[in-house]
Copies of this chain bind each other. A is one copy, B any other.
Amino acid sequence: MGNLLELLPVDGIRLAAGSAGIYGKPRDDLALFEICDGAGTSAVFTRNRFCAAPVTVARDHLKRGPARYFLVNAGNANAGTGARGVDDAMQVCAALADRAGCAPEAVLPFSTGVIGEYLPVDNICRALPGLVGNLADDAWPDCARAVMTTDTRPKGCSVQFAVGEETVTVTGIAKGAGMIKPDMATMLAFVATDAAVSQGALDRMLKTAADQSFNRICVDGDTSTNDACVLIATGKRAAAYEQLEAIVTEVCIELAREIVRDAEGATKFVTIRVENAGSEAECAAIAEAVSTSPLVKTALFASDPNWGRILAAVGRSGTGELDINRVSLYLDDVCVVRNGTRAGDYTEEKGTAAMQKDEIGIRIDLNKGNASACYWTCDLSHDYVTINAEYRT
């Protein structure tokens, strides 16, 4: 297995960051990925029916042949922009294709930012020559910064592992801090490996990794119009599928946890573990109810061991039969509820001590079946309200 390192180049990928001035202040807001010939790309997109224009275009382009470039912009989601939004996204792809010498369908567009504004096409096109001219294999950190919106810090992760004499690399970057819920593809993430993986295996690997990472985090229960998660395999190295899948999953989990750690206004990092449930779907339903409950989240913010709110959220999650008299609840190692009622040895002092930490574990044992799973979430603070009330002002 690998170690978490600085962001490492991936053989076959070059990147560049630049600015189209979308934020009206000096910061990068564009990231360009160049992918070598022979690479495979797999992607999952938001299931939100109001998907943005770039999602429509990227989905379509991906069907038509291998992707050679990803063009990502922050600051403008190009969502809710109707037919003109699609035209705008295609225009940007065509301009890049023209400059880089590929087919427009080989360019996938990604956008993130404010909904309902038209894409500043001319500004983006003017920045393309600079981007293409600056392509380099070590620009992962610059690109991680360029795709940030309300993120307070860039998110990235690299793992390397040895296969015989060779070293295989997996590097990923992500953006996302709000509009996050445990549902397919909830932010932007770009993960690349220099290993060789067939298209079918790459699709399977991405689904497995996303299900165990980005689909298990929740900031506010909202899903975005623009979410996408992409996995690239450049085919330069050989690696066993199982080992590579484990590493890609590890990278995705790390990126997902970084998103939660950077969640808008969050002061707590919370791991919810649902144990001994009847199915993984039951684990997910319970974790979602607990992690989206404003009452649980405000109690977490207050470091208040208000376990009644957690039980109430479990009780309304509404999957299968639930015998409340078998449910136990732990805050870190403190048993708060045993068999549906307050544990005899529980004291408010113990609960408060557990809740005052920055990292809190909530363990819900249904004592019913043998499915277990981990999810990650955060609290709901005054700063969340401030950030989202003032986002556009």
From B83, B312, B314, give the contact of A115 (CB < 8 A).
B312
Chain B residues closer than 8 Å to A4, beta-carbon distance: none
* Closest partner residue, chain B, to A115 (CB atom): B308
Nearest-Cβ distance from residue A79 to partner chain B, whole angstroms: 6
Q: Which of B222, B224, B385 contacts A301 (CB 8 A)?
A: B385
Query: CA separation between A224 and B311, bound complex, in Å?
Result: 10
C-alpha gap A391/B47 in the complex (Å): 37
| Segment at the B interface, from A24-32, A88-96, A289-297 | A289-297
**Would you give the 0/1 interface string for A83-104, flagging 1 where the beta carbon is closer than 8 Å to chain B?**
1110000000000000000000
Pairs A-B, 8 closest by C-beta atoms: A115-B308, A82-B341, A50-B315, A302-B389, A298-B388, A49-B315, A48-B315, A220-B294
A299–B48 CB distance below 8 A: no
Tell me the count of chain A residues lying within 8 A, CB to CB, of chain B.
65
Q: Is A350 an interface residue (CB 8 A)?
A: no
With CB as the reference atom, state the residue of chain B lying closest to A296: B222
Pairwise interchain contact B385-A385, C-beta atoms closer than 8 A = yes
Interface check A322, CB cutoff 8 A: yes
Q: Which of A314, A342, A393 has the most CB of B within 10 A?
A: A342
- When the two chains form their complex, are residues A222 and B81 in contact, meaning their CB atoms are under 8 A apart? no
Q: Which residues of B contact A82 (CB under 8 A)?
A: 325, 339-342
* A168-B197 Cα distance, complex, nearest whole Å: 77
The residue from B179, B298, B389 contacting A299, defined by CB atoms under 8 A apart: B389
Whole-angstrom distance from the CB of A217 to the nearest CB of chain B?
A: 15
- Interface residue from B295, B306, B315 paired with A178 (Cβ < 8 Å): B295
Inter-subunit contact B80/A116 (CB<8 Å): no
Residue A80 contacts which of B80, B178, B311 (CB distance < 8 angstroms)?
A: B311
Instruction: Say which one of A15-23, A246-254, A277-285, A376-384 lies at the interface with B.
Output: A376-384
